[in-house]
């Protein structure tokens, strides 16, 4: 994949993921707002119903009083009665006749029965009715009005409501409303509208802000729901019902929490998939890069022995040499040596591909690990000493026989030793030590090389990790060595540990259990 295409792909992926998250957030916000609007309208409906109920209830008490009083009024022959009518036209075909009846009487209302009070009323009973008249198209004139006045005035709501307003308006609010009853009434109405949330309420004055009576937790905020509760004679509100819902946001949120959870879940899944595919793409790219490097290195490393073998076989074919057994032996040795080198390379390739596919299985036998370490030290000694370096050895482990795979164990010890050499810029000083701790065999390999920072330390055992900075970049490697070391140590049931400080060298501990 071309680098530019890859960059554009990542950019597009990131862009669309961010876009998707922003859109999701937008929709969630919309859903919350919609939920809030719906919630508000349900609360307002519950409030309207409460207010209606309270007013009707108050009116009913007056009805009760008046039903008796009116009876007396109707029966009293002497009560002066006036009925007036007034005709108004709405259009050429529609007319309204307004009938008003006035009754005057002096009565004393037994208000004391309910309010522990009494009321003198002088002019009290007036009622108004509007009768709509329509001209029939077939007739020239309006129909004659045939109205049963008694029936028309039967329920004098108008007057009664006016009177109730007037009368009740003179009472202190605490005598008109029982706060507990109002509270439970409102809660039952809320329940009817499927809202269950803590409620605090108050009846506020004309300014709609100052509470006249309130429940204990009531707070005046601009989030409160307010609606007129009682009116003055002139139809202006005299008291308001103010409702404060402390858990409003939580309640609305709980209504859409399922939607919210599902959205978050799917967004997280998409994010997870995005991260994994990005990681896989990057890794794939890195691996293919590494493989190319690896192939290049390999071809180079095969070229030299192949050339040497070719020269040696040519020499063997020549008569001058084939007659000389010493020379034949020498060239045969050269071929054998180069063959060994190539074999070693092939082994390494096989091992790496096995390791990459997690296909390594151990072939265990009883191994003397002290001896194995000594062998590995020997195979690197020349290289170290050629660089004016020294290897210090101290084999303290007394119990040194382990059931282990000698091939892989030898490889990993060599790997750590090679790293100690590779990452020591000049004259490597390598300290090799073995000892026993709690039924374990420990191989400690310390160098005084470039060391590692804390950030690097956390990643050295990851496959393909290489700290590619400064000098290190010049050091050849595939970033597989330590991952392989850790894998093999763990296959043996052991642990690997590393201590290091930038500039102060590194120490690796390979801890293997003795069974
Ligand atoms: P590589 O093939 O790069 O050596 P390894 O897996 O062996 O891969 O090591 C991974 C990285 O760990 C190296 O690239 C290097 O940065 C760091 N590292 C390993 N051993 C040492 C050491 N002895 N001193 C400093 N850094 C080391």
Give per-residue pLDDT as tens, 31-55. Answer: 889 989 999 999 999 999 999 999 8
Mean pLDDT over 111-140 rounds to 57
Are 444 and 507 contacting, i.e. CB atoms less than 8 angstroms apart?
yes
Cα of 465 vs centre of ligand 1, distance in Å, is 8
pLDDT above 70 for 504? yes
Q: What angle do CA 497, 482, 457 make, to 5 degrees?
A: 55
Ligand 1 atom nearest residue 505's Cα? 24
Cα of 421 vs centre of ligand 1, distance in Å, is 10
Q: Tell the residue number behind the tokens 């508000």, with chain if given.
A: 40
Can you give the pLDDT at residue 114? 53
pLDDT above 60 for 64? yes
The protein residue whose alpha carbon is closest to atom 12 in ligand 1 is 460
pLDDT range class, residue 438, cuts 50, 70, 90: very high
pLDDT above 70 for 515? yes
Tally of CB atoms within 10 A around 214:
18
Q: Tell the residue number behind the tokens 């876009």, with chain if given.
A: 19
Give 72 or 241, the one with higher predicted confidence: 241
Name the phi and psi angles at 96, rounded to 5: -120, 135
Give 460 or 190, the one with higher predicted confidence: 190
Q: Which of 391, 395, 411, 508 is closest to 461 using CA atoms?
A: 508
172 by DSSP, 3-state: which?
Answer: coil
pLDDT above 80 for 424? yes
Does the CB atom of residue 411 touch ligand 1 within 6 A? no
% of the chain with per-residue pLDDT over 90? 37
For residue range 77-97, list pLDDT tens digits in order: 455 556 666 666 666 666 666
pLDDT range class, residue 349, cuts 50, 70, 90: confident
Does the CB atom of residue 481 touch ligand 1 within 6 A? yes
pLDDT above 80 for 161? no
CA 199 to chain CA centroid, Å, is 30
Does the CB atom of residue 472 touch ligand 1 within 6 A? yes
Separation in Å, CA 10 to CA 17, 96, 274, 282, 459: 10, 78, 10, 10, 24
Which range has the worst mean pLDDT, 2-11, 434-443, 448-457? 2-11
Cα of 368 vs centre of ligand 1, distance in Å, is 27
Does the CB atom of residue 452 touch ligand 1 within 6 A? yes
The protein residue whose alpha carbon is closest to atom 17 in ligand 1 is 460
Does the CB atom of residue 479 touch ligand 1 within 6 A? yes
pLDDT above 70 for 151? no
Does the CB atom of residue 477 touch ligand 1 within 6 A? yes
Cα of 482 vs centre of ligand 1, distance in Å, is 7
pLDDT range class, residue 130, cuts 50, 70, 90: low
For residue range 216-275, list pLDDT tens digits in order: 999 989 889 999 999 887 778 899 999 999 999 898 888 888 888 998 899 899 999 999
Can you give the pLDDT at residue 90? 66
Handedness of CA 199, 205, 208, 212 (dihedral sign): negative
Cα of 276 vs centre of ligand 1, distance in Å, is 26
Can you give the pLDDT at residue 155? 46
Mean pLDDT over 490-505 rounds to 93
Are 129 and 96 contacting, i.e. CB atoms less than 8 angstroms apart?
no
Which range has the worst mean pLDDT, 279-283, 445-449, 498-502? 279-283
Does the CB atom of residue 420 touch ligand 1 within 6 A? yes
Mean pLDDT over 393-421 rounds to 92
What DSSP string describes 272-325? HHHHHHHHHHHHHHHHHHHHHHHHHHHHHHHHHHHHHHHHHHHHHHSHHHHT-H
Ligand 1 atom nearest residue 479's Cα? 8
Cα of 450 vs centre of ligand 1, distance in Å, is 10
Cα of 460 vs centre of ligand 1, distance in Å, is 6
Can you give the pLDDT at residue 469? 45
Ligand 1 pocket mutation, candidates 355, 384, 419, 478, criterion most atoms within 8 A of CB: 419
Cα of 152 vs centre of ligand 1, distance in Å, is 105
Ligand 1 atom nearest residue 508's Cα? 23
% of the chain with per-residue pLDDT over 70? 76
Can you give the pLDDT at residue 77? 41
The protein residue whose alpha carbon is closest to atom 2 in ligand 1 is 477
Does the CB atom of residue 450 touch ligand 1 within 6 A? yes
- DSSP symbol at 154: S
Axis crossing angle, helix 248-317 with helix 325-356, rounded to the nearest 10: 170
- Give dist(CA 301, CA 104) in Å, integer: 126
Q: Which of 375, 437, 439 is closest to 406 using CA atoms?
A: 375
Q: Which of 304, 295, 382 is closest to 338 using CA atoms?
A: 304
Cα of 381 vs centre of ligand 1, distance in Å, is 19
Positions of E strands within 65-144 = 81-89, 94-109, 119-134
Are 79 and 108 contacting, i.e. CB atoms less than 8 angstroms apart?
no
Long-range contacts at 405-410 (CB < 8 A, ≥ 24 apart):
405/362, 405/363, 405/364, 405/365, 405/488, 405/491, 405/492, 406/365, 406/367, 406/372, 407/363, 408/360, 408/362, 408/488, 408/491, 409/367, 409/369, 409/372, 409/488, 409/492, 410/372, 410/375, 410/376
């Amino acid at each position: 994949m071309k680098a530019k295409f890859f960059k554009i792909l990542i950019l597009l992926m990131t862009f669309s993921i961010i876009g998707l998250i922003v859109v999701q957030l937008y929709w969630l916000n919309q859903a919350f707002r919609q939920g809030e609007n719906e919630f508000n309208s349900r609360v307002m409906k519950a409030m309207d119903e409460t207010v209606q109920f309270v007013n009707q209830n108050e009116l009913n008490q007056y009805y009760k009083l008046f039903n008796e009083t009116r009876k007396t009024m109707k029966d009293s022959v002497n009560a002066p009665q006036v009925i007036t009518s007034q005709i108004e036209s709405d259009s050429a075909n529609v007319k309204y006749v307004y009938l008003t009846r006035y009754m005057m009487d002096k009565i004393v209302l037994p208000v004391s029965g309910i309010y522990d009070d009494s009321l003198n009323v002088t002019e009290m009973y007036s009622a108004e009715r509007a009768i709509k008249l329509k001209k029939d198209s077939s007739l020239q004139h309006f129909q004659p009005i045939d109205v049963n006045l008694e029936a028309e005035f039967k329920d004098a709501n108008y007057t009664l409501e006016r009177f109730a307003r007037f009368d009740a308006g003179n009472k202190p609010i605490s005598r008109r409303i029982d706060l507990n009853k109002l509270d439970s009434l409102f809660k039952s109405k809320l329940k009817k509208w499927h809202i269950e949330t803590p409620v605090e309420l108050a009846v506020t004055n004309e300014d709609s802000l100052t509470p006249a009576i309130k429940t204990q937790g009531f707070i005046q905020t601009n989030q409160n729901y307010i609606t007129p509760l009682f009116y003055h004679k002139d139809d202006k509100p005299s008291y308001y019902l103010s409702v404060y819902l402390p858990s409003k946001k939580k309640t609305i949120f709980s209504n859409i929490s399922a939607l919210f959870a599902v959205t978050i879940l799917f967004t997280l899944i998409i994010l997870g998939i995005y991260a994994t595919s990005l990681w896989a793409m990057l890794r794939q790219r890195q691996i293919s890069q590494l493989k190319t490097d690896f192939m290049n290195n390999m071809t180079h490393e095969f070229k030299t022995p192949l050339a040497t073998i070719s020269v040696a076989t040519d020499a063997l074919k020549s008569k001058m040499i084939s007659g000389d057994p010493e020379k034949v032996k020498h060239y045969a040795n050269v071929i054998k040596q180069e063959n060994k080198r190539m074999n070693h390379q092939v082994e390494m390739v096989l091992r790496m591909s096995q390791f990459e596919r997690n296909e390594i299985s151990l072939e265990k036998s009883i191994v003397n690990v002290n001896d194995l370490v000594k062998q590995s030290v020997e195979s690197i000694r020349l290289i170290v000493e050629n660089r004016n370096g020294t290897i210090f050895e101290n084999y303290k482990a007394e119990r040194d026989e382990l059931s282990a795979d000698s091939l892989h164990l030898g490889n990993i010890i060599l790997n750590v030793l090679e790293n100690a050499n590779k990452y020591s810029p000049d004259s490597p000083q390598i300290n090799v030590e073995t000892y026993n701790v709690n039924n374990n065999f420990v191989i400690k390999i310390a160098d005084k090389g470039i060391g590692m920072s804390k950030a690097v330390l956390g990643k050295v055992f990851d496959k393909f990790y290489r700290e590619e900075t400064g000098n290190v970049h010049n050091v050849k490697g595939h970033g597989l060595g330590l991952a392989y070391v850790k894998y093999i140590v763990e296959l043996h049931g052991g642990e690997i540990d590393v201590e290091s400080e930038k500039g102060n060298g590194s120490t690796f501990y390979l801890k293997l259990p003795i069974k």
